[in-house]
Structure 1
Amino acid sequence: MKPIHDTWLVIPLYNEEQVIGDVIRAALPTFEHIVCIDDGSTDKSGQAALNAGATVITHPINLGQGAALQTGFDYLTKYTDARYAVTFDADGQHRVSDAVAMRERALADDLAIIYGSRFLEGQVDISPLKRLVLKTAAMVTRWQTGLHLTDAHNGLRLLRMDAVKRIYLRQSRMAHASEIVNELARTRLPWAEMPVHIDYTDYSRAKGQSLLNSVNILVDLILG
């Protein structure tokens, strides 16, 4: 496949020095443009991303994933001629091939927004607690927005730039995942949901992200 020039990967980055270089090097042959937002990391994540070939923007303090994504969106809007943005996790759980499929679908069907879902195909290797929380989040999102999503808190999304320009994220923690869906729903731009794969690695499991994210999502749903 020829390198893709019109689509930027936007990667929020916080203390992922161990894996971010591999994530970027795996993606660069396909997506030539990657911007990482180093959100106040206390390790050398930003330097590792820069060494691997990404553009790096640094937050001097940790502001949260929502703020990191917004910084990335602002950069694309102001300084690039990107056609699409793909939000992509830093820990190696997302697949480049899924991002490619999203772009192809957006081009073929003239879509502005594509949400990734881990529940559209087959079984997902997650705990019963996390499955319950994610299903509850999707139900709440459906009630709030009218969008019938199966996986409202999936971090892999493709946004056409007209969608990017119509949203502004203010929430931190996991609340930004609900906020971005709410903001995109208000644009009334054409959208779809596509199956994607989440590769739960030994590294991500060791960090305990699955349980922590479940708790954060639950807290945000209650407070929201």
Structure 2
Amino acid sequence: MREPINRGVTISTPVEQRTWLVVPLFNEAPVVRAVVEQARATFPKVVCVDDGSSDASVAEATAAGAIVVRHPINLGQGASLRTGLDYAMRDPGADYFVTFDADGQHLVDDALVMVKMLDSQPLDIVVGSRFLDGRTSVSPLKRVVLKLGIVFERLSTGVRLTDAHNGLRALNRHAAETIAITQNRMAHASEIVSEIGRNDLRWAEAPVHVVYTDYSRSKGQSVWNSVNILSDLFLK
């Protein structure tokens, strides 16, 4: 069994200081400053990958204290995650990496629990699941579509997750280096699940609360987003 990699960081260094939050960013100016400020109260290292925003997202994220890496054109969330992970892994003191949404849907407390799981257990990746407790309210139609997606992922990858398209994930350095993300857009989530199985990564799930707001719904967090994920996969 592979043992945790010693990166030369003393064990007394708090796990929060050995973690980077990787935040894809596209036209989230109304909320990203508050999201980053709240995140940095726990995790001081945050990299936002601006994916060709046309609003004030870069200025707002920078004002909140994030490092901002920019794509000159819109490439998609999968590309943003790969860029952010590559940037964060340049830090030799970084052991863990969290993929975290810019629109306020994810909770910092959930991310911290997941990172501590990596730090205390023989795991490579922890995936958030909105179906492991009762905190997340999901419409009946969206629940059906997400459950169909779960069945598809289990059959195609052999990885038996309960929430295959949750964007809150915590990875150790081995997982961040190993997982290939070639799907630039929303199908990257399915690709990550496939990479977990293909590379025999040690995984677990953690219950998380996905906060659906009027703002996040206005950004396209609807049942059709789940349909688009499956379309991306079949059109690959």
Give the TM-score, by structure 1 length. 0.94
The CA deviation at 1:204 is: 1.1
Q: Which of 53, 60, 64 is 1:48 aligned to? A: 60
Aligned ranges for residues 166-205 of structure 1 at < 5 Å?
166-205=178-217
| 2:56 maps to amino acid | K
| Structure 2 partner of 1:163 | 175
1:20-59 map, 5 Å: 20-59=32-71
Task: Tell me the secondary structure at the aligned position of residue 116 of structure 1.
Answer: strand
Identify if the C-alpha distance between structure 1 residues 3 and 24 changes in structure 2 by more than 3 Å, giving closer, same or farther. Answer: farther
Root-mean-square deviation (Å): 1.6
Matched, 1:128 2:140: yes
Deviation at 1:123, TM superposition (A): 6.2
2:86 to 74, 78, 82: 74
Q: Which amino acid aligns with 2:230?
A: L
Give SS of 2:55's match. Answer: coil
- Which whole-Å CA distance do the structure 1 matches of 2:178 and 2:226 have between them? 28
Partner of 2:156: 144
**Residues 18 and 212 of structure 1: is their aligned pair in 2 closer, same or farther, counting only changes over 3 Å?**
farther
Q: Identity over aligned residues, as a percent?
A: 56
- Alpha-carbon separation, structure 2, partners of 1:172 and 1:216: 13
My pick for the range that moved more, 61-70 or 40-49, is 40-49
TM-score (norm 2): 0.89
SS of residue in 2 equivalent to 1:11 = strand
Using the TM superposition, give the Cα deviation of residue 132 of structure 1 relative to its aligned residue in structure 2, in angstroms: 1.5
Q: Does 2:91 correspond to 1:91? A: no
5+ long unaligned stretches in structure 2: 1-13
SS in 2 for 1:217: helix
Higher alpha-carbon deviation: 193-202 or 180-189? 180-189
Code of the residue aligned with 1:154 in structure 2: it is N
1:215 Cα deviation (Å)?
2.9
Q: Are the counterparts in 2 of residues 3 and 30 from structure 1 also a CA contact under 8 Å?
A: no
Alignment counterpart, residue 165 of structure 2, candidates 129, 150, 153: 153
